[in-house]
A = this chain, B = another copy of it.
Amino acid sequence: METKTATAIFEILSSGARLSVFRLLVKYAPDGLIAGEISRMLDIPKTNLSFHLKALTHSCLASMEREGRNTRYKANIPLMLETIAYLTAECCSGDPGQCLQYRKESGIAPEFLPPCCGSETP
């Protein structure tokens, strides 16, 4: 992944409205949601939601497809995973021991943490 791609994705997620929309689409993967549902669930005006959905689709973080007079949006989860890999790939110059230490210190349940430095390589 190129830096330019990654920054574009982080910029998309730097808006509270867009982050909420994206996480909602992640939660409702793989079927996604139609725009009206999103607008109601998050209480975002349609006009503004359109603006943010356009940004999400333009960055490829979401896909859209028409369904009659509705528009269905779905999260691009593989791209999300690629972005996470980009952020963690060179962690600690590849020292698994150090990464494991960080994982422990984070206090997060292991099943919600990325492998980070290959410390959990299967």
Contacts and interface: CB of A to CB of B under 8 A. Distances in A.
A81 B114 contact: yes
29 contacts: A3-B16, A4-B16, A6-B13, A6-B19, A7-B16, A10-B11, A10-B19, A11-B11, A23-B87, A26-B88, A26-B90, A27-B91, A29-B92, A29-B98, A30-B92, A77-B102, A77-B106, A77-B116, A78-B107, A80-B87, A81-B114, A81-B116, A84-B87, A111-B115, A111-B118, A112-B114, A114-B114, A114-B115, A120-B120
A106 B79 CA distance: 7
Q: How many copies does the complex hold?
A: 2
Interface of A: 3-4, 6-7, 10-11, 13-16, 19-20, 23, 26-30, 77-78, 80-82, 84-85, 87-93, 98-99, 101-103, 105-108, 110-116, 118, 120-122
